[in-house]
Amino acid sequence: MIRSFLKTGMTVAILVTSLLAVAQVSPTTKKAAHVRITEGPELERNDAYLVIVRWTSNNPGGTPEHYGVVHYGTNPTELDQSAKSPIRLNPGHDYTVFRVRMDSLKRRTTYYYKVDSMGDNGDPDGVRSPVRRFTTQ
Amino acid sequence: MRLKTLSAGAIVVLIALGYTIVTYGQQNSSPSVYNPYPPGILPPNLNSEIHRVLAEIDFIEARALERWHKMKPPILTGQPPTLQNTGTEAVETLGELLNFDKQMSPKRNEACASCHMPYAAFSGPIPSVNLTMIAYPGTEHFRAGKRTAQRYTYAPFFPVLQYNQEQALFYGGNFWDSRATGYQLRNPDAEQAQHPPVDTQEMGFPDTACIAFRLQHSPYRRLFEEVWGKGSLDIDFPPETEEICRTPGGAAIFGTNATPIPLSPADRTHANTVYDHWGQSLDAYEQSVQVSAFSSKFDAFLKGNYTMTADEMAGYKLFNGKGNCNSCHVDGLGTTLKPGQVDTSTPATVNPVFSCFGSANEGLPLNPRDAFYYQTKPDPYGFTANPYGFGYRDLGLGTFLRSGFGSAPNPNASWRKLAPSVDGQMQVSSARNVAMTPQQCSTTEAPGPYFQKEFFHNGYIKSLKQLVHFYNTRDTAFAYPVTSGHCPQGTVERVNCWPMPEVKNNLDMTTGDLGLTDKEEDQIVAFLQTLTDGFTRPYPNRDTYTGACMHGGSSKTQGNEFLIPTPELPPCADAVCGVSPVPSPPIP
């Protein structure tokens, strides 16, 4: 029984390997004309350990790996620092949730921030973001 | 059928018994076993489990030999010359024979299959190792590697490692850190098969030519020559070759010499060709339907021959929707959805492998049980696997691009500058067969009866429930600034406490706070279980496990009794984090 099974297996092997299609990779989706925030930006988490900024936009398209970017600073007119975190776009979703970790903020400090996103190749999506603020613990 | 099943079982038992008798004396007479580990790191049943797996390996090897003996030889004909009729079967069978041949190690005690058995989808076959030291012991007991044994299944479908400049992303390669690039054979899986035979902590030959040397004396030499040409193993080895090949690689006696067997230039080239054919034969086996079978419930579902249960279907929708799993574990679907819509489109391919062939840093905590951290002293051969101890950090693809410690030389200098952008990233494995277990242990999940597996590159996760829960809650209130083994009182690690990531750089934020309910996590697990081959037809050699299944407990806390406190971590060693271009931000 085992022998006949293996024999059948080998026959199927030959058939299947000859039919294998080219392996798929993450598809690049068409770049959206405008990327608009639909939720947030807001703090998903703000404690002594970690700050995470989160927002949702329409799917920006473009490169499969994208970065959420937070421009921040202690002066609302001078957001001279930035943090970014990678995410994978899901071509099957018409929305994208961006989340950015900010690991090295000063404690008990008020920060102002706005957000953007960009492709892995550095092309910004040109998101219009309000400037918001938070105070670390 | 019943008689045949019984006789197969009897053969396994007899081989196991015979092997135990033969090796018992050898083991006890061994001058010294390398054991730099504190108590509790090596599982107490390690020796008996290694012997169990070797007996199973011998059984499968015997099966393959029998099949080869009954195979009609292929006919070499045509232009270009082709092995007509049974050529495919011949090369795949050759690969199988190589895979299960324990002679392919210095001490003739380790085959490729020692870390990759069919019943675990060709990943780690020893439950107690999966629970504790996570990396498998090599030919020299007890050197061990640093990462979990990746599944063979569908590895041959990964393309040659390439940096796509438009998308600014790496695609392809084999191994967690993609170091088997395929740059030369144009086949990363074949090049992957070339690493373990000369990996100091695995099969551990000191010279790649040892493979050709051992093949000269193998019982299937005729098949090798049938496939790769008459005379392909005719190499003039000097008399000292056996002595060299039974000395594990890394031994001080070899210094930095990677080719200690003195061969003529022509014979060296010849031996290199044999080594390429070794890799290509193993790739043929791994790509065959004996290994990458496309025979799961999901495959039957794609063909319309299987109706998913309510939980499996709910899990599938979550996998593509709220769970966002298919952003990397690509399933071939391709509809742009409106909010609330469900993707009902036909998959773009009939054989999605559930990987984007990319890499990601999922933020796994450092696993202090990893055997690699403890190999800080020289073994009897003067070899030290990890002089940096807990100063080692696993930067994955980043370390490979730097040709760094514990990885392999990077063959493309233009990639090196990209290392900081991929530090911490590990290959996105195919999700297929993540749930495969021996047929008598029906699941990976407690209370079972279950087969204990290990997940991700460092084996920190012990069940699929924990795996999905980790993706779901890594960044929520369950995230604590502690290392493993130090969760605050009142919390339970891997349930409502996640220690901090080993590497924070490039941490992927697609997941981490998905908002899945407990039931939805279970449904995704149910879907993952539909990706196990062997549903539409039996999966070859899945019946060879002779160990025990485990019982009891909960998948949420599976393995928690083996958690140990991470020691205070020294700074990342310069040999890892001080190599240019250095990680940015610096890794503490």
* Domain annotation for chain A: domains and CATH numbers: 37-135 (2.60.40.10)
> What pLDDT is recorded for position A123?
85
Interchain proximity A101–B475, CB inside 8 Å? yes
Q: Are A79 and A90 in contact (CB under 8 A)?
A: no
Interchain proximity A17–B287, CB inside 8 Å? yes
Q: Which two tokens stand for residue B587?
A: 């890794």
Exposed, middle or buried: residue B310 (CB in 10 Å: 0-12, 13-18, 19+)? exposed
> What pLDDT is recorded for position B142?
96
Q: Are B315 and B527 in contact (CB under 8 A)?
A: yes
Residue pairs between chains A and B whose CB atoms are closer than 8 Å: 173
**Binned average pLDDT, 10 residues per bin, chain A of 137 residues:** 40 34 56 95 93 97 93 96 95 94 93 95 90 96
Q: How many helices (H) and strands (E) does chain A have?
A: 1, 7
A65 touches chain B (CB under 8 A): yes
Interchain proximity A120–B537, CB inside 8 Å? no
Chain B residue at shortest CA distance from A120? B168
- Residue B181 C-alpha, separation from nearest chain A C-alpha, in angstroms: 16
B298 backbone dihedrals φ, ψ, rounded to 5° = -65, -40
> What pLDDT is recorded for position A23?
40
Q: Of the candidates A59, A87, A95, which has its C-beta nearest B510's C-beta?
A: A87
Interchain proximity B540–A9, CB inside 8 Å? yes
Contacts of B398 in chain A (CB under 8 A): none
A4 touches chain B (CB under 8 A): no
> What pLDDT is recorded for position A48?
85
Closest CA to B525 of B582, B469, B442, B447: B469
Chain A residue at shortest CA distance from B158? A23
Q: Treating both helix axes as pointing N-terminal to C-terminal, what angle do B265-287 and B221-228 enclose, rounded to 10 degrees?
A: 90
Q: Is B580's pLDDT higher than 50?
A: yes
Q: How far apart are CA B27 and CA B442, in angstroms?
A: 34
Q: Give B174-211 as a 3 state SS string.
A: ECCCCCECCCCCCCHHHHHCCCHHHCCCCCCCCCCHHH
Dihedral (C-alpha) A61, A62, A64, A68: value to the nearest 10 degrees?
Answer: -70
Structure confidence by residue, pLDDT tens digits, B443-481? 999 999 999 999 999 999 999 999 999 999 999 999 999
HSE, CB side, 13 Å, CA atoms: give it for residue B371.
29
Mean pLDDT of B167-174: 94
% pLDDT > 70, chain B: 92
Which residue in the block uniquely carries the two structure tokens 């049980």? B369
Interchain proximity B358–A12, CB inside 8 Å? no
> What pLDDT is recorded for position B134?
98
% pLDDT > 90, chain A: 68
Structure confidence by residue, pLDDT tens digits, B315-372? 999 999 999 999 999 887 654 444 455 555 555 566 899 999 999 999 999 999 999 9
Contacts of B507 in chain A (CB under 8 A): 85-86, 101
- Residue B342 C-alpha, separation from nearest chain A C-alpha, in angstroms: 10
Mean pLDDT of B362-391: 98
- Residue B289 C-alpha, separation from nearest chain A C-alpha, in angstroms: 5
Contacts of B70 in chain A (CB under 8 A): 3
Is the four-CA dihedral B131, B134, B140, B142 of positive or negative sign? Answer: negative
Chain A residue at shortest CA distance from B4? A1
> What pLDDT is recorded for position B222?
98
State the distance between the two ends of chain B, measured CA to CA, in whole angstroms.
60
Q: Of the candidates B4, B324, B328, which has its C-beta nearest A2's C-beta?
A: B4
Which residue in the block uniquely carries the two structure tokens 């992927």? B508
Q: How far apart are CA A24 and CA B160, in angstroms?
A: 13
Structure confidence by residue, pLDDT tens digits, B82-117? 999 999 999 999 999 999 999 999 999 999 999 999
Exposed, middle or buried: residue A121 (CB in 10 Å: 0-12, 13-18, 19+)? middle
Question: Residues 8..47 of A with a Cβ closer than 8 Å to B: which?
Answer: 8-10, 12-14, 16-17, 20-21, 23-29, 44-45
Which residue in the block uniquely carries the two structure tokens 């990759």? B116
- Residue B71 C-alpha, separation from nearest chain A C-alpha, in angstroms: 9
Q: Is B303's pLDDT higher than 80?
A: yes
Chain B residue at shortest CA distance from A104? B585
Give the residue from A16, A26, A42, A53 with the most B CB atoms within 10 Å of its CB, the best one to mutate.
A26
> What pLDDT is recorded for position A26?
60
Structure confidence by residue, pLDDT tens digits, B272-286? 999 999 999 999 999
Contacts of A28 in chain B (CB under 8 A): 166-167
Mean pLDDT of B500-505: 98
Q: Of the candidates B334, B504, B537, which has its C-beta nearest A103's C-beta?
A: B504
DSSP string, A12-34: HHHHHHHHPPPPP-PPPBPPPS-
| pLDDT, averaged across chain B | 93
Q: Are B63 and B541 in contact (CB under 8 A)?
A: yes
- Residue B470 C-alpha, separation from nearest chain A C-alpha, in angstroms: 16
Chain A residue at shortest CA distance from B357? A25
Chain A residue at shortest CA distance from B332? A24
Interchain proximity A17–B476, CB inside 8 Å? no
- Residue A26 C-alpha, separation from nearest chain B C-alpha, in angstroms: 5
